[in-house]
Structure 1
Amino acid sequence: MKVPVPARVALVPGAFAAPGPGSWLGTRAWLLDLLVVVGVFLYNLPIIPIYAIDVVAGVGLVGVSVVLCGPYLLRRRYPLGVLGVMLLAACVQLALGAPILAADAMLLFAVYNVATRYLWWASLVGAVATVAWLLVAVIPHLGADFLDVGQLGVLIVVTFWVWTWGTLVRIRRQYIAGLHDRADQAERERETNARIAVADERARIAREIHDIVSHSLSVVVVMSDGAATKVDSEPDRAKAAMLGVRDTGRTALAEMRRMLGVLRDDEPGSHAPQPGFLQLDALVEQSRAIDMPVDLTVSGEAAPLPQGVELTVYRVVQEALTNVRKHAGPDLTRVNVRLTYRPGEVEVRVSDDGRGPTNDAGGHGLIGMRERVAAHEGTLTAGPGAGGGFEVVAVLPREVEVA
């Protein structure tokens, strides 16, 4: 049950943590309060005649006992209000000539209740007010065979002990609520990280499929067109082109199976090695088979690179050659693929003398290349070359591999 907060009293977040909803006490806490109220009230009734000087005073003390006990049933909704009403009833009790009643024990329950729900300084006011009432009620009667100084001191200590106990319970509830909040926050962070990881993996798969399908289909289309035009005049050349179509299709299927292996571990070919530098020659030969004037040059001291870097270089060259086929135009006379090893980095440069893409974006291919290179803390530039045509340059660190 949520307790309303009085306007000018600060509450501690999480201080209202209640027993678990499935526990017996959590669903029947009101019954325990009722037992306390009825028990204290019935125990108090036989004591009233000792202090009642007449019937009116006796009836008044019964009414005071009702007000001391009854409001406790509302302690969860109005903690401070219940304590205030009890203190007011206790003051009326003094006016009726009764210094101490058994029902006054309800003040201790009210002090504890306030201490479990409010900051220490707010609940301490209630504890001090209760002790002040106790002093006013007892001190005038110390010499009249009533409570002695030691007993008064015990009552004061008990009052502050009850307040301390309630404060510690509040602190514990606040601590447990904080643990629950941190656990919930950690769970939300795990879910968010999982969603981000899924989105990243989907983007990676989309880039892979784009590169495979775009490159392979463009090669198949060009080879098929060439075979169709040469089937009558140059059947041997047309046959060679169709064999190239077959090999390209098989390669694309193998790579697609490998990509499906990311989603299904038991997919045949899911553990096939990913393409890298060793497949660049085959990629260049595939482009030459469709009459693209491609040259591959490797310079610098070659050294093994992380698999992710090799795959990125392969995909950059693959996508760059695909863009050349799409956008270079009929005046294309050269395509240079240069792989340069340097200390700490590797550079791949694909340049041509064609007309290049008609806009700066270059479609999803260039975007995919930039994402791949950026994932390995590299840089990619794409645009018109210094001597005309179009140029793609990617620079990747040799020692960094991103999972």
Structure 2
Amino acid sequence: MNGTREREGHGPAATARLLTRPLAAALWRSRAEPADPDPPWPFILRWTRFFGIGRLPFRIVGQGFDLFIAVILLFSGIATVSERMAPRVPYDPLYGPARPAPSPTFMVVLLAVWLAAPLALRRRHPLGAWRMSAAGMLVTGLFVHEDARFVPTGVIAMLFVLYMVAVRCSRETTIGVALVTVFGAGLLQPRTAAGAAVLIAVPLLVGFLVRMRRTSRRELEQQERRHRDAEAVLLERQRIARELHDVVAHHMSMIAIQAEAAPYKTPDVPDETRADLAEIRATALDALREMRRILGVLRQEDGAVTAPQPSLDRLDELLAGARGTGLEVSTKIIGDVSGLPPGVGLTAYRIVQEALSNAMRHAPGSAVGVEIARAGGILRLSVVNGPPAPGHSPTPSPPGAGHGLVGMRERVAMLGGELSAVPIAQGGFAVTATLPETAPPDAPSAPVPPPDAFPADGARPGTSAP
């Protein structure tokens, strides 16, 4: 079978496919990549900031430049095409070769527009602009004099379009565009085909190098974003492990103490029961040592966490701090939220803390509604904020921020709950969570969220919970 594949990869048929694929991609099959909606200013043009132009969006400035050059090429092309389409006048020894300037006709104007329009379209449709420019050059060459078939306005527009094709299209498509353009140049004027090939190669080569640089930079940014997301997941799991150590260690210690004290409360405890209680104490202490060995090392990576972990009993303190920053916080508590399991209470506190932190940063001065309901073994949280108050502007997120949702998802998934964090129609944001007080037996372990599920540019959802 390998020999068959090798034979299929060589020979005239394979060579024909290798040649026709770029041509098919250039002429009808391929499409250009979508344009960057907010491209940065090139480094060599950043000096324009001193004149105010560089502070405008580069996409608008670039399109305006193309339109300006296209208008200039249009009017100069009308004169050039009209002159080259006019019949030649025999040389007059008395009056010389001078003749009246020919008046532009409808065909002249149509050809001039055809040659200049691709320049205005190259940013939106690079391949379409190239096809239009190539067709315009070929058609114009049929109407002008044989020794002057390359109209300068069409050549200038074609060079600009070729650069954009190389930047926005694949390598296969760029090769096909180069082959077709060189072949067309040789077909129009064979004696200048070599020079035309060199001129065509310059914008294609420059555009290809720009494309390679942008691709490398984009891949590097994606790798850094994936690394930041993975690091955020690991850091949050370390935090959860430390908190799990605090919560479980307390209960295991209580089991060991109660098992040791139980025989002294009742003097007539049977020896068999004493042995069982001693076994329970020993098992609890072994489990506690093993857990400290596995999880306790995480407490030493960035210093031991000895402070008690917060719960909803500190909700008033958290809300007071949020009000102190200018938020208008209203609360609604349904049911008794005291006595929650430590893990549930801690997770609920962190979710409310993260949602308020997001509101402080992205919607300063907004109205925030916090609702907590406990019923039927389920704790429901809802934190909804409106748009920023008049006169307030969102605070840009620091570099590397944007991982708050990672932590919330990890915590909720650990408890077998559900989390929703979505924008609302009024311009604000809503974070809702459902936390079971007792995790179901078949609750899955916390999955690693995909990197593209979280923003990497600091946009909402916000930052990691402190």
TM-score when scaled to structure 2?
A: 0.44
- The equivalent residue for 2:253 is 212
- The equivalent residue for 2:165 is 114
Take 2:124 and 2:196, find their aligned partners in 1: how far apart are those partners?
A: 27
Take 1:7 and 1:129, find their aligned partners in 2: how far apart are those partners?
A: 12
| One-letter code aligned to 1:50 | E
- The equivalent residue for 1:124 is 175
Take 1:84 and 1:363, find their aligned partners in 2: how far apart are those partners?
A: 79
Take 2:126 and 2:137, find their aligned partners in 1: how far apart are those partners?
A: 17
Deviation at 1:56, TM superposition (A): 9.5
For the pair 1:9 / 2:59, whether they are aligned, the reply is no
CA contact (8 A) 1:15 1:173 kept: no
Secondary structure class of the residue paired with 1:28: helix
Q: Which deviates more from structure 2 when the two are superposed, residues 32-41 or residues 183-192?
A: 32-41
- The equivalent residue for 1:96 is 143
CA contact (8 A) 1:11 1:117 kept: yes
Take 1:135 and 1:18, find their aligned partners in 2: how far apart are those partners?
A: 39
Cα distance change on mapping 1:134 and 1:68 into 2, 3 Å: same
For the pair 1:136 / 2:157, whether they are aligned, the reply is no
| One-letter code aligned to 1:38 | V
Take 1:6 and 1:198, find their aligned partners in 2: how far apart are those partners?
A: 57
For the pair 1:63 / 2:3, whether they are aligned, the reply is no
For the pair 1:32 / 2:62, whether they are aligned, the reply is no
CA contact (8 A) 2:73 2:153 kept: yes
- The match for 2:39 among 16, 19, 40 is 19
Please give the per-residue CA displacement for 1:244-284, whole angstroms capped at 9, x wherever unaligned: xxxxxxxxxxxxxxxxxxxxxxxxxxxxxxxxxxxxxxxxx
For the pair 1:72 / 2:119, whether they are aligned, the reply is yes
Please give the per-residue CA displacement for 1:135-169, whole angstroms capped at 9, x wherever unaligned: 22223xx5xxxxxx5xx533321211111111111
Deviation at 1:102, TM superposition (A): 2.0
Secondary structure class of the residue paired with 2:220: helix
- The match for 1:183 among 224, 235, 244 is 224
For the pair 1:164 / 2:184, whether they are aligned, the reply is no
Cα distance change on mapping 1:103 and 1:171 into 2, 3 Å: same
CA contact (8 A) 1:40 1:69 kept: yes
| One-letter code aligned to 2:79 | P
Take 2:151 and 2:164, find their aligned partners in 1: how far apart are those partners?
A: 20
CA contact (8 A) 2:259 2:278 kept: no
Cα distance change on mapping 1:15 and 1:52 into 2, 3 Å: closer
Q: What is the number of residues matched between the two proteins?
A: 240
Cα distance change on mapping 1:11 and 1:222 into 2, 3 Å: farther
Take 1:62 and 1:43, find their aligned partners in 2: how far apart are those partners?
A: 11
- The equivalent residue for 1:280 is none
Secondary structure class of the residue paired with 1:88: helix
Where structure 1 has 5 or more consecutive residues not aligned to the other structure, the ranges are 143-148, 230-290, 292-328, 336-351, 378-403
Take 2:126 and 2:177, find their aligned partners in 1: how far apart are those partners?
A: 10
- The equivalent residue for 1:245 is none
Deviation at 1:203, TM superposition (A): 1.6
CA contact (8 A) 1:67 1:85 kept: yes
- The equivalent residue for 1:331 is 271
Deviation at 1:216, TM superposition (A): 3.9
Take 2:279 and 2:257, find their aligned partners in 1: how far apart are those partners?
A: 20
| One-letter code aligned to 2:30 | V
Deviation at 1:48, TM superposition (A): 2.3
Take 1:101 and 1:7, find their aligned partners in 2: how far apart are those partners?
A: 25
Please give the per-residue CA displacement for 1:190-249, whole angstroms capped at 9, x wherever unaligned: 1111111111111211232223333345656766x46xx9xxxxxxxxxxxxxxxxxxxx
- The equivalent residue for 1:83 is 130
The within-5 A match list for 1:294-313 is none
| One-letter code aligned to 1:52 | M
Cα distance change on mapping 1:333 and 1:51 into 2, 3 Å: closer
CA contact (8 A) 1:17 1:177 kept: no
- The equivalent residue for 1:308 is none
Take 2:28 and 2:183, find their aligned partners in 1: how far apart are those partners?
A: 25
CA contact (8 A) 1:16 1:173 kept: no
| One-letter code aligned to 2:167 | T
| One-letter code aligned to 1:157 | V
Cα distance change on mapping 1:32 and 1:136 into 2, 3 Å: same
- The equivalent residue for 1:195 is 236
Please give the per-residue CA displacement for 1:61-91, whole angstroms capped at 9, x wherever unaligned: 3211212222332323322111111111111
| One-letter code aligned to 1:97 | V
CA contact (8 A) 2:133 2:158 kept: yes
Matched residues, percent identical? Answer: 18
Take 1:15 and 1:181, find their aligned partners in 2: how far apart are those partners?
A: 18
Take 1:20 and 1:209, find their aligned partners in 2: how far apart are those partners?
A: 55
Take 2:244 and 2:107, find their aligned partners in 1: how far apart are those partners?
A: 80
Take 1:364 and 1:333, find their aligned partners in 2: how far apart are those partners?
A: 16
Take 1:198 and 1:136, find their aligned partners in 2: how far apart are those partners?
A: 70
TM-score when scaled to structure 1?
A: 0.50
- The equivalent residue for 1:278 is none
CA contact (8 A) 2:32 2:125 kept: no
CA contact (8 A) 1:61 1:93 kept: no
Take 2:189 and 2:218, find their aligned partners in 1: how far apart are those partners?
A: 41
Give the aligned CA root-mean-square deviation in angstroms: 4.0
Where structure 2 has 5 or more consecutive residues not aligned to the other structure, the ranges are 1-25, 42-54, 88-101, 298-466
The within-5 A match list for 1:215-364 is 215-216=256-257, 225=265, 330-332=270-272
Cα distance change on mapping 1:330 and 1:74 into 2, 3 Å: farther
